[in-house]
């Protein structure tokens, strides 16, 4: 594996960084305060090719690969974590459709995601009683003349009230456990007849990202809207989550790095005991403890992205990257608040928002405990070879 970035990867990184610095970061505090959904920003990301970084060009994507996607996600998250989560889910949904949708559906729906015409994509897996254990879902899909009618409810759906394209999972064979679940695409997203948007969650952080419940009541989808084969839904979900975890690890890395940078800046400016606090070794050590965690995360993320790009197995590496990066970023954000002292506990400084935004990254797309379960299972499998 080569640690040097290609010209294309550098270009994607610098484009995303420039956008994050020029547009996203200056608006992030206001977005956090008002909860305004980043409609214009997502449209701009679409124009820059960042809503389908690893999607073929013929479907409107940038076709720049998973490492480039990871770099873009890191940069965007450093500017505005709320915008980056909508970007992450849209890229994940676009990739699922590239892999599993029927040709005509893929050709119609994916370009709407990559261009930004659909505003965002949503991923409807979790339910009120089925989070870490999605195979316990109770949403059902009943056969109809045209295809399927879906009934049930989904919980925690990022951008679910805005997304022009939603992927949902439902039980097509109630007696078959995890093997009786199938994945479907709703090409009209939140405007699909039979779908109602429920409660908007009032969250600790990521306040510019909308997180909603979705109710499905005889919500009809065409036969061709099934993704992969009937009963293959859990495989579709797990494949998507493997890739998604690289995105969330990159997101955490971007936010953790922004926190570290903020701590360095503040430590140089703030004077106590007649010297900048950066001169106090205890403060230097706080930064020194956070920096290696983030660097190790960068290596793990890069390696998982590289394996995916090579078409090699990467489930264990994606889980390790997600577990390590989200925990390291959490520690870095907490450290940054500490370096800012009392000011870090106020909304006058971005680190207060970073700490609230980073917290959920240890929870969504599989909690840290679920990542450990995946890593342990894969480690035992490999050790017996
Ligand atoms: C802001 C936000 C956005 C989200 N976006 C989406 C989205 O777009 N689409 C979507 O489908 N979902 C989304 N989610 C849902 C998210 O993926 C779930 O919250 C997560 O998977 C955990 O499920 P849960 O909340 O039901 O917790 P639970 O599964 O109830 O877990 C509670 C606790 O028990 C632990 N636990 C559970 N089982 C085990 C076990 N076997 N061993 C050890 N510990 C265990 C967990 O780690 C956790 O600490 C989002 C969540 C949030 C908060």
Kindly state which CATH superfamily the domain 122-230 is placed in.
Butyryl-CoA Dehydrogenase, subunit A, domain 2 (2.40.110.10)
Task: Specify the residue with its C-alpha closest to ligand 1, atom 38.
Answer: 132
pLDDT of 347 > 90? The answer is yes
For residue 89, give the ligand 1 atom closest to its CA: 8
35 lines ligand 1 (CB under 6 A): no
132 lines ligand 1 (CB under 6 A): yes
Q: How far is the CA of 366 from the centre of ligand 1 (A)?
A: 6
Buried/exposed 213-229: b ≥16 CB within 10 Å, e otherwise: bbbbeebbbeeebbbbe
Q: Quick: pLDDT tens for 68-120.
A: 999 999 999 999 999 999 999 999 999 999 999 999 999 999 999 999 999 99
pLDDT at position 383: 86
Neighbour-count burial of 138, counting CB atoms closer than 10 A to its CB (0-12 exposed, 13-18 middle, 19+ buried): middle
Most ligand 1 atoms within 8 A of CB, residue of 152, 156, 362 to mutate: 156
User: Full-prediction pTM beyond 0.75?
Assistant: yes
**Average pLDDT of 374-382?**
95
CA-CA distance, 161 to 31, in Å (whole number)?
17
**Average pLDDT of 343-367?**
98
Q: What angle do CA 295, 297, 302 make, to 5 degrees?
A: 100
* Strand, coil or helix: 121: strand
356 lines ligand 1 (CB under 6 A): no
Q: Are 339 and 287 in contact (CB under 8 A)?
A: yes
382 lines ligand 1 (CB under 6 A): no
**Average pLDDT of 360-374?**
98
pLDDT of 323 > 90? The answer is yes
pLDDT at position 384: 75
CA-CA distance, 69 to 138, in Å (whole number)?
33
Q: What is the mean pLDDT of the chain?
A: 97
What DSSP state is assigned to residue 124?
A: E
If you classify domain 7-120 with CATH, what class do you get?
Answer: mainly alpha
Pick the catalytic residue from 127, 327, 365, 381. Answer: 365
158 lines ligand 1 (CB under 6 A): yes
278 lines ligand 1 (CB under 6 A): no
Q: How far is the CA of 157 from the centre of ligand 1 (A)?
A: 12
Kindly state which CATH superfamily the domain 234-383 is placed in.
Butyryl-CoA Dehydrogenase, subunit A, domain 3 (1.20.140.10)
Q: Is 365 a catalytic residue?
A: yes
Per domain, the residue ranges of the chain are 7-120, 122-230, 234-383
For residue 133, give the ligand 1 atom closest to its CA: 29
pLDDT of 385 > 70? The answer is no
Specify which residues 186 forms β-bridges with. Answer: 166
């Amino acid at each position: 594996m080569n640690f040097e970035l290609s010209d294309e990867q550098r270009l994607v990184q610098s484009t995303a960084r420039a956008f994050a610095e020029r547009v996203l970061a200056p608006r992030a505090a206001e977005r956090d305060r008002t909860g305004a959904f980043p409609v214009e920003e997502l449209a701009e990301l679409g124009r820059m090719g960042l809503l389908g970084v690893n999607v073929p060009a013929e479907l409107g994507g940038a076709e720049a690969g998973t490492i480039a996607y990871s770099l873009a996600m890191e940069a965007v998250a450093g500017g505005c974590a709320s915008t980056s989560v909508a970007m992450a889910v849209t890229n994940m949904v676009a990739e699922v459709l590239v892999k599993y949708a029927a040709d005509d559906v893929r050709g119609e729906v994916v370009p709407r995601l990559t261009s930004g015409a659909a505003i965002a994509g949503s991923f409807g897996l979790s339910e009120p009683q089925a989070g870490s254990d999605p195979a316990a879902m109770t949403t059902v899909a009943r056969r109809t003349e045209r295809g399927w009618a879906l009934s049930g409810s989904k919980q925690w759906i990022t951008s679910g009230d805005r997304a022009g394209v939603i992927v949902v999972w439902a039980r097509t064979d109630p007696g078959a456990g995890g093997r009786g679940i199938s994945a479907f695409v709703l090409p009209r997203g939140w405007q699909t007849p039979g779908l109602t948007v429920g409660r908007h969650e009032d969250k600790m952080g990521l306040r510019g990202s909308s997180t909603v419940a979705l109710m499905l009541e005889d919500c009809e989808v065409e036969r061709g809207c099934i993704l992969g084969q009937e009963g293959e839904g859990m495989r579709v979900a797990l494949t998507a989550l493997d890739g998604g975890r690289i995105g969330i690890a990159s997101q955490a890395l971007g936010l953790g790095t922004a926190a570290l940078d903020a701590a360095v800046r503040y430590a140089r400016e703030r004077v106590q005991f007649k010297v900048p606090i950066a001169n106090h070794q205890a403060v230097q050590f706080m930064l020194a403890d956070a920096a290696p965690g983030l660097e190790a995360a960068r290596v793990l993320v890069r390696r998982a992205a590289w394996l995916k790009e090579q078409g090699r197995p990467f489930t264990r590496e994606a889980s390790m990257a997600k577990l390590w990066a989200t925990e390291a970023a959490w520690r870095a954000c907490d450290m940054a608040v500490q370096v800012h002292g009392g000011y870090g506990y106020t909304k006058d400084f971005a680190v207060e928002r970073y700490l609230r935004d980073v917290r959920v990254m240890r929870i969504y797309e599989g909690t840290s405990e679920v990542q450990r379960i995946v890593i342990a299972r894969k480690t035992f499998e490999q050790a017996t070879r």
